[in-house]
Amino acid sequence: MRRCLDVASGAAVVSILAVTAAAQAPTYKAARLAGTDRPNLDGLWQALTEANWDIQAHAAQPGPSQFGALYAEPAGPGIVEGNEIPYQPWAMAKKKENFEKRLTRVNTDGVRLEPLDPEAKCYLPGVPRANYMPFPFEIIQGDKKILVAYEFASASRLITLDKAGPAPVESYMGWSNGRWDGDTLVVDVTGMNDKTWFDRAGNFHSDALHVVERWTPAGPDVLQYEATIEDPKVFTRPWKMSFPLYRRLDRNAQFLEFKCVPFSEELVYGHLRKQTGK
């Protein structure tokens, strides 16, 4: 009994010391942007997640059978906190339909036949999806504005720090107003249309989407990213996703282009090609 008590006491002391050490550990202080007291977020960043396939936890899935393993979906632990997306009942049914028809050509306006998945059509990816697609993106930071340039479809957005205001029009990438909360960049994103999805699994939103992003330096080459999602037309309550972003340090890392419109033209508009007689 005494030996058990000694072991338990020793474990308790170790636990207390570990907690105390963690509490006393200094928080990371990022390098400053020249001429300011703000963190410097400049660089080429990329998420290492499987969220572009599905933002929730998922097992590996097959792709179209004629391609074997080429377009299969990798398994992933998800980036949604709690792994629950609080859809309204009708929206959950819509999400399932989106997934089932993601590769189907659908009649959207009585004239055109096009695939349901907006990524297949090379639509701009929207926020927050642009940040976890499997492409690097570049942050170019100024004192009053921050440019974020994405490789996919040459998408970009400007985060305004000096003059907050409402979105003038709806758009794919929305309207981004930023502010600093200590070393965390907080970005309020509104004015997005309803033509983008969160992933290839059919998770979607309406034109009432409101996203609040938090970008926090966690190390010299790591940003912790968090997004709070609110859309009263689709969800019953706000929900969050979070994941780290890593600076690209590989030799010769650079911002390249992925202009996907030429890759999607045949898929979207091929049926309009004039058929010539034989």
Q: Rounded to whole angstroms, how far apart are CA atoms 15 and 9?
A: 10
Q: What is the pLDDT of residue 100?
A: 87
Q: What is the pLDDT of residue 164?
A: 81
Mean pLDDT comparison of 69-73, 137-141, 272-276, highest-scoring range = 137-141
Q: Would residue 62 count as lying in a domain?
A: no
pTM of the model as a whole: 0.86
Q: Would residue 277 count as lying in a domain?
A: no
The secondary structure of 142-194, three-state, reads: CCCEEEEEECECCCEEEEECCCCCCCCCCECCCEEEEEEECCEEEEEEECECC
Rounded to an integer, what is the distance from CA 174 to the centroid of its chain?
14
Q: In the structure, how many helices (H) and strands (E) does the chain have? A: 3, 11
Q: Rounded to whole angstroms, how far apart are CA atoms 76 and 73?
A: 9
Greatest Cα-to-Cα distance within the chain, rounded to the nearest angstrom: 97
Q: What are phi and psi of 81, to 5 degrees?
A: -65, 125
Q: What is the pLDDT of residue 275?
A: 63
Quick: pLDDT tens for 124-156.
Answer: 999 999 999 999 999 999 999 999 999 999 999
Residue pair 217/148 in contact (Cβ under 8 Å)? The answer is no
Complete DSSP assignment for 203-218: -B--TT-EEEEEEEEE
Question: CA–CA distance from 250 to each of 40, 44, 220, 246, 253 (Å)?
Answer: 20, 11, 15, 11, 5
Residue pair 172/196 in contact (Cβ under 8 Å)? The answer is yes
Residue pair 247/260 in contact (Cβ under 8 Å)? The answer is no
Q: Would residue 19 count as lying in a domain?
A: no
Question: CA–CA distance from 246 to each of 23, 41, 43, 138, 256 (Å)?
Answer: 25, 11, 10, 11, 17
The number of CA neighbours under 13 Å toward the Cβ of 176 is 23
Domain that holds residue 175: 43-57+77-271
Q: Would residue 21 count as lying in a domain?
A: no
Report the 10 Å Cβ neighbour count for 211: 21
Copy the structure tokens of residue 114.
């096009």
Which helix (H) or strand (E) is 267 found in, with range?
helix 261-269
Residue pair 151/256 in contact (Cβ under 8 Å)? The answer is yes
Quick: pLDDT tens for 49-63.
Answer: 999 999 999 999 998
Q: Would residue 94 count as lying in a domain?
A: yes
For the residues 192-209, what does the mean pLDDT come to? 96
Percent of the chain surpassing pLDDT 90: 72
Copy the structure tokens of residue 143.
């004192």
Q: Would residue 2 count as lying in a domain?
A: no
Q: Is the pLDDT of residue 48 over 70?
A: yes
Residue pair 41/215 in contact (Cβ under 8 Å)? The answer is yes
- In the beta sheet, which residues pair with residue 145? 160
Q: How many domains does the chain have?
A: 1
Q: Would residue 15 count as lying in a domain?
A: no
Q: Would residue 16 count as lying in a domain?
A: no
For the residues 208-217, what does the mean pLDDT come to? 98
Q: What is the pLDDT of residue 77?
A: 98
